[in-house]
Chain A
Amino acid sequence: MNAERTSSAKDASAGGNGTLNSHCPTGPIETRWDKHRFDMKLINPANKRKYNVIVVGSGLAGAAASATMGELGYNVDCFCYQDSPRRAHSIAAQGGINAAKNYQNDGDSVFRLFYDTVKGGDYRARESNVYRLAQVSVNIIDQCAAQGVPFAREYGGLLANRSFGGAQVSRTFYARGQTGQQLLLGAYQALERQIATGKVTMHPRTEMLELIVVDGRARGIVTRDMVSGEIKTHVADCVVLATGGYGNAFYLSTNAKGCNAMAIWRAHRKGAFLANPCFTQIHPTCIPVKGKYQSKLTLMSESLRNDGRVWVPKYEDDIGKAPGDIPEEERDYYLERRYPAFGNLVPRDVASRAAKAVCDEGRGVGSTGLGVYLDFEEAVGRLGKQAVSERYGNLFDMYHHITDEDPYAVPMRIFPAVHYTMGGLWVDYNLMSNLPGLFVLGEANFSDHGANRLGASALMQGLADGYFVAPSTVANYLATVTPGAVDKGHEDVKAARSTVKERVSKLLGVGGKRSPDSFHRELGLLCWDKCGMARSESGLKDALEKIPALREEFWENVRVMGTGEQFNQELEKAGRVADFLEFSELMVRDALNREESCGGHFREEHATEEGEAKRNDEDFCYVAAWEHGGDGNEPKLHKEALNYEYCKLTQRSYK
């Protein structure tokens, strides 16, 4: 069955010799999406209601896709592990959403947003996809404004913009420091409207535990009702995963506690290729770790770097001193020093590595030595406290709550933390995986950000995929299949259900001594040490030995209290940790394979004399898409070559 699955998957996307077909349209890049939309098949309005679509995840991508496809007339079942779709982690995004509106008349354009995104991603994203993203960015803002999203406005009533994350133009739209919340609520409200009409059925507190594949096509999912424990199968004509990233493999991250990789990992095990898992984004401005009990990390919006200045003491012996006692000339504003052109606004990966470098030199501040100052003294002097508080008041309050320190009086202390994952399931231009009928949207796919995501681009991608791309490309796929071809009685559906049941009882039956959390913490620390901000061959090889050993211990020594037939958070955690224990091995393997430094992936062996990243376009200008090899076997690498017709491959320089 394995062999059969692989061969039919290959028919769809993978050619011989490990090359992959992205199905990108040809012709001038500006016309590709329009041409493709025209070429795609449509479904007659009367026939749409014959098709069932499963959407897993209710964040920006999932909620937008469910609402839009429901509105178009398909029958949609949407699943989320939260108690309400409004709580998906997109809600936590603070800073904003990019769009090439050029409302500021400062020289922005679709082409410039496209170019910035490809360059910012360190030339590891597909040009056609990124161009489309920049194109539909303008429709997103229109759509959200029409939904009543209370975007920030200028006095004249027009939309306000700010420059974000080092962009040379002001193209970021925002709603105070709660942009993700407001965009998600817009999508959530559109979704609830469809739920009320009956076109979307919502399944909250329901977790996907398996993907159902029949004859090489994604046909449904197996879920666990998190309240009653009931294991159920759901079949459909296609499956859309919008389940977010895998940042919680590191245990400590800015993700919500529930974020997990189970859906994408289950799909991977069933034949979907996983692409570039080593591309993880470490965000430079997070609140440092305080103690062993720490359960998550909190991000302070990147917008703070617009006015805050980053520094550490020049001399190691000053690290214990109160920051106010360190005179100006004994401070090292290391970003301004190393990157005079961009200063404090260098991209995230560069800022994070620079912070690590000064801490490695022993100049980090705070009790753990893992922190740098983000100082607003100059900004308060220049703009006044009032103006600073208008811009960042809620962020300052949040910092104050958590650390008990007043950032108006003492500089903030920040440190990088895992924030976003650029890697994910491999998809073609249609956002379809190599497994036909499986679509992957938002952070769960690998497609648009290359090796590094620019600030304010995650919200853009989630909504682009959900509102504008998937609804057309899913239709194009559905037009090729007979609706309702598989029912719940099918052998493969029943088999998927029994696999899940067995797995749940296995987890409950181990009867060991350690909690799922204790394994998760240990795995997270290992990933952070060996596969975090800097990676080396020896460290990665060490992790490749340790992860399987930890996994083995997990299956012998995990203790999951309670039963499967009840609300059981320990069981939920155990299942997610079990998958992180498999997933992280692939992430490390990918990092070992990629013998270059590029975006969020920094290999110590591949750096310039000054310690800057050294990309290797000669050998690594490709997407690494991994095929699961079956338990105990090595995964197989497929390469999708990246061709740059419009962007010139250059070494990024922010000097």
Chain B
Amino acid sequence: MKLKVHVWRQANASSKGKFETHEVSDISPDMSFLEMLDVLNEELVDHEKEPVAFDHDCREGICGTCSLVINGEAHGPQRAATTCQLHMRKFDDGDEIWVEPFRAGAFPVIRDLVVDRKAFDRIIQAGGFITARTGSACDANEIPVSKEIADRAMDAAACIGCGACVAACPNASAMLFTAAKVRHLNMMPQGQPEREVRVRNMVSQMDAEGFGACSNHFECEAACPKEISVEFIAEMNREFLGAMVKADNTVPKRG
């Protein structure tokens, strides 16, 4: 296949970016999208040009490193797949492809297609954990967890933290990411003691990072490579309201 690729180039966070157009040929339908970019980069290096920077690592859809908005869609046209799992057989000979970084105020561009997603780590720091000092745990079978709960917690925990939900959302909201972690931990019996403080702190941190609000577009669910359900957002909202009301009434506020 022969393709025309319009790719976003930006030297660093403070410079202005623009699209650059390249032709790539000899693209096999069995190649992954990232392998197509590898081919483009080899050619650029051959012509003594700087290759396109893009994030990737596992290339098997689990680490959450790869990103890219392809023809306007986060992770491209294939449902339930990351960019590294997208194959060129989804495109036709002669196609034009537009490749951009994940765009959001809270994800500043580092270079070309690479963005900074540290805001997600800070949301986890705010409460995305269960406090369990190493070595202090009881026997794992002492706290049974029904299969139903474990399965549903796993549905939420499958999030790979790639940020496609943010990139796909017209408001650049991080609700799906945050809700997935809140719900995973708040469903588990081990997560009960911290459940209210967890949801309060994670949601506040999400707001502080500058992510937008959710106005029920549900683009996030459509873009999510792990098909995390928007139901978790509704559940988190209920928990958040409950936790806030309780915090106002009973818990003295922290400074």
Contacts and interface: CB of A to CB of B under 8 A. Distances in A.
Contact of A71 (B124, B134, B143, B153): B134
Nearest to B125: A196
B255 interface: no
B235 to A, nearest CB: 16
Residue in B32, B132, B134, B144 whose Cβ sees the most chain A Cβ within 10 Å: B134
Interface in A462-484: 467-468, 471
A204 B117 CA distance: 11
Contact of A569 (B48, B51, B117, B138): B51
A475 B42 CA distance: 48
Given A153-B147, A566-B111, A295 B45 contact: no
A155 B57 contact: no
B3 interface: no
Contacts of A83: 55, 65, 116-118
A102 to B, nearest CB: 11
Interface stretch (B91-99, B167-175, B182-190, B246-254): B182-190
A485 interface: no
Nearest to A514: B45
Contacts of B241: none
B209 interface: no
B38 interface: yes
Interface string B124-155: 11101111111111111101111100110110
B34 A295 contact: yes
Contacts, number: 219
A150 B181 CA distance: 12
Residue in A101, A151, A185 whose Cβ sees the most chain B Cβ within 10 Å: A185
B129 A257 contact: no
B60 interface: yes
Given A153-B145, A192-B125, A192-B129, A67 B134 contact: yes
Contacts of A103: 141
A91 B53 contact: no
A593 interface: no
A519 to B, nearest CB: 12
Given A256-B58, A567-B110, A189 B144 contact: no
Contacts of A85: 121
B154 A190 contact: no
Interface string B102-113: 000000001100
Given A146-B136, A190-B129, A159 B153 contact: no
B244 interface: no
B6 interface: no
Nearest to B54: A569
Contact of B137 (A142, A294, A404, A518): A142
A176 B154 contact: yes
Contacts of B46: 515
Residue in B51, B133, B157 whose Cβ sees the most chain A Cβ within 10 Å: B157
A291 interface: yes
A91 B58 contact: yes
A471 B134 contact: yes
A242 interface: no
B58 A150 contact: no
A178 B110 CA distance: 30
Interface stretch (B68-76, B81-89, B210-218): B81-89
A167 to B, nearest CB: 19
Contacts of A489: none
Q: Which 6 pairs of residues, A with B, have the shortest CB-CB distance?
A: A157-B144, A189-B129, A146-B137, A145-B140, A146-B132, A142-B137
Interface of B: 11-12, 28, 30-32, 34-35, 38-39, 42, 44-46, 48-51, 53, 55-65, 78, 80-81, 85, 87, 89, 110-111, 114, 116-118, 120-121, 124-126, 128-141, 143-147, 150-151, 153-154, 157-158, 160-161, 184-185, 188, 190-191
25 contacts: A71-B133, A83-B117, A84-B120, A92-B62, A143-B132, A143-B134, A147-B129, A150-B154, A150-B157, A153-B145, A153-B146, A154-B147, A155-B146, A155-B147, A181-B160, A293-B31, A295-B59, A296-B59, A296-B60, A298-B60, A397-B80, A562-B50, A566-B111, A567-B111, A567-B114
